[in-house]
Amino acid sequence: MSKVLVITTSLRAKSNSDVLADNLIQGAKDAGHDVELVSLKGKELRFCIGCLSCQKTQKCVLNDDAVEIAKKVKNADALVFVTPIYYYEMCGQMKTLLDRLNPLYPSDYKFRKVYMLSVAAEDEDEVPEKAVSGLQGWVDCFEKAEFVGSLFCGGITDAGEAADTQDAQTRAYAFGKNIE
């Protein structure tokens, strides 16, 4: 049993990302994992200022919600980032969070497996490529971790539409059930 941290990054009410994350979480729980959900909704995340003091102290000089999220990330065995695709890329708040996780780089982090679930209005195979590449770039900086896989659910536009999209829900559940 692994400790899985699922981070949903959409700020939209009735988010399709959140609907599919719920299905993923149920699959992971049914596979026997201990799952925790962190949503960026209502969180204060300031931009990294590039001071790099975190590389010496393993603490960020900015005091906001990213500090607590980083602690959870550090102690999870597996991470799942859930993002809507905006302009063929991960949402801005996800990128901001990834930048703010910089204090983990020199630390003794536990996470080894990283996954991504993405959702978009468009449904061509290439839609999530840049978001996957961006997360892969982050993972590449953590030599003990690996990007294991992603699930893209396209063709879902309106708020809450994923709740009526059984195929996407089923795929998200199976993706969660296969987390290692």
For residue 113, the domain's CATH number is 3.40.50.360
Question: Kind of pairing, strands 78-86 and 146-153?
Answer: unpaired
Structure tokens at 83: 């993002």
Model pTM?
A: 0.97
Share of the chain above pLDDT 90, in %: 99
Q: Binning pLDDT at 50, 70 and 90, where does residue 21 land?
A: very high
* Region 61-68 average pLDDT: 97
pLDDT at residue 10 above 80? yes
Domain housing 106: 3-177
Q: Binning pLDDT at 50, 70 and 90, where does residue 148 land?
A: very high
pLDDT at residue 1 above 80? no
**Residue 76: predicted pLDDT:** 98
**Residue 131: predicted pLDDT:** 98
Structural domains in the chain (count): 1
Element (H, E) at 75: helix 65-75
Q: Name, in order, each residue with C-beta under 8 angstroms of 71's C-beta and a sequence gap of 6 or more.
A: none
